[in-house]
A and B are shown apart, each in its own frame.
Chain A
């Protein structure tokens, strides 16, 4: 069964510094991977996805993620963190390669705290 793991419950970074939020995956077949962000008391917002193609995926708000097949990782990155980036970040994998059910399996979430 497909799964994702987010090994860090919380990541702390100073404003202006680069940030990385880690995600590793386990799938049978090719992975479809996603990152979502959840601000307090809000629904999830889509950031970016990897389906195929370039290993470096660019998304919303200056975020990007690097797909690494050998390390089965899909880490979220941003060159310069903002205080407004502070939120809960979820990595997700679509279950099933192909098929007609867009079922996402979410990680446990990583709380990003950016200090001014």
Chain B
């Protein structure tokens, strides 16, 4: 049973397109996150939701829009994709927004051509 799952695993698309990445967790956690890992493996948080409420919104282009339809799902929509958006995007979840450890999904490798 996969705890945190993401779809798709790979995404190859052209510049200017709009795409979405979906994330689901079956751990019953209240808090979910999106991270971006660049080609140098640097990992940076983008967004976090707690009980469907946005609690972390880093300096991310407004082409990126998260959406949490319920506590178990956090999707990431990206408009007008650019070359620099190429990266691995990780979803994660934690029991709460305190000091709990985070559980990461397998990642979605986005390649923008």
Please report the number of residue pairs spanning A and B whose Cβ atoms sit closer than 8 angstroms: 61
Categorize the interface residue count of chain B. Answer: 20 to 34
- Per the bound structure, the CA–CA distance linking A101 and B4 in Å amounts to 20
B29-47 interface bits toward A, Cβ cutoff 8 Å, 1 = contact, 0 = none: 0010000000011111100
Do the beta carbons of A100 and B106 come within 8 Å of each other?
no
Chain B residues with Cβ under 8 A from A51's Cβ?
Answer: 99
Interface residues of A in 75-116 (CB under 8 A from B): 88, 90, 94, 100-104, 106, 108-109
B77-113 interface bits toward A, Cβ cutoff 8 Å, 1 = contact, 0 = none: 0000000000000101010111111111111000000
Q: Given contact pairs A43-B92, A51-B99, enumerate 9 new A-B contacts (beta carbons under 8 Å).
A: A36-B104, A42-B107, A46-B102, A94-B99, A102-B97, A102-B100, A102-B102, A103-B45, A108-B42
> Which residues of B does A touch, CB under 8 Å?
4, 31, 40-45, 48, 50, 55-56, 90, 92, 94, 96-107
